[in-house]
Structure 1
Amino acid sequence: MNQALIIPTFVTANIHINRLGQNQRKKFLDAYNRYGPVDDDIYEVLYDAMTNFDSKYSKYMKVFFIDDVAGGLYGKKYDIGVEKKSVIVLTSGFNDSTLAHEALHAMNLYHTFDNDSKFTFLNFETDNVMDYSDIENRKFAVISTYVWQWKILHDFLKTI
């Protein structure tokens, strides 16, 4: 993010699932047992719990770390362009680019090989954090972002 002249600030807080209200705990456990750690209901419960935990976190992007696996996923964004800015990062398979990749999704960036991006590149062929070059074929370390992505990131920051 430093390439885009964005310096993140991190605050750590813990959510204890056993301290959730009965309905929220049931929703969380039912979703987790049915679909695993990246189900949308998991996002809802964690996001709401964090927001309710302390209102000062209402404008923060939320990153939830879960020690589990999900069929080759290392993380998942709730959805791109939605109000609830949050990501789940799975610590199994976690590497040095996972958090940056998922956080950039939360900041409205698509994969560079996705046709929803401003420009589309071949998959696994760039050193951009929004490519999977470091995971799939180990050709490139993913260490960069593009200038056109910086504008999207800066526009995102104006919304929080």
Structure 2
Amino acid sequence: MDFFDLEMQKKIAEKDLSKGDSIWPTCIVQLPNGQKQALSFPFQNNEEKAYNLLKLRRYIQRVHADSYMLVLEVWVSAEQIPTMTENRQEEVLFAVHDGNEETHYNWPITRNDDGTGMLTEPRDNDMANAQGSFADLFDITVFEQLNTTQKRKLDKVIDKMMKTYH
């Protein structure tokens, strides 16, 4: 699977959109041996989002991932907080990190009355390197700021994840 293949990205997203489903936040991680693992991490609120991102960052570090592709539904707007405005566009974001730099591909979604959807052509991405909680999952600064007990507790969760996927 080539993370930079735009047709492959479109197929991944349209599979769920054609059924009227939302796209679950998913990270496809490439291991040093070339194997790929898909990790889904749904969240209901900012606390769950932060915890799942922390787990994902630590997992990527522990398995010595070479690269990853993060797939998310996002709202985009000229406003500071897209969720607070009616003037926004629903998109699927593919954040591809090759181990050195992160590239973003934004695919606008067109929804039908029945909730099904399809992607239009990817828009020009004017965000050189997007900032925010999902940026650069190789960065483990947040993990390093935890106290020893918190680190041990998180590593136990990661150990279970590693047993599941290996």
Bucket of the pairwise TM-score, normalised by the shorter protein: under 0.3
Structure of higher RCO (CA pairs closer than 8 Å, 6+ residues apart): 2
Indicate the structure with greater strand content.
2
Q: TM-score, normalised on structure 2?
A: 0.27
Q: TM-score, normalised on structure 1?
A: 0.27
Indicate the structure with greater helix content.
1
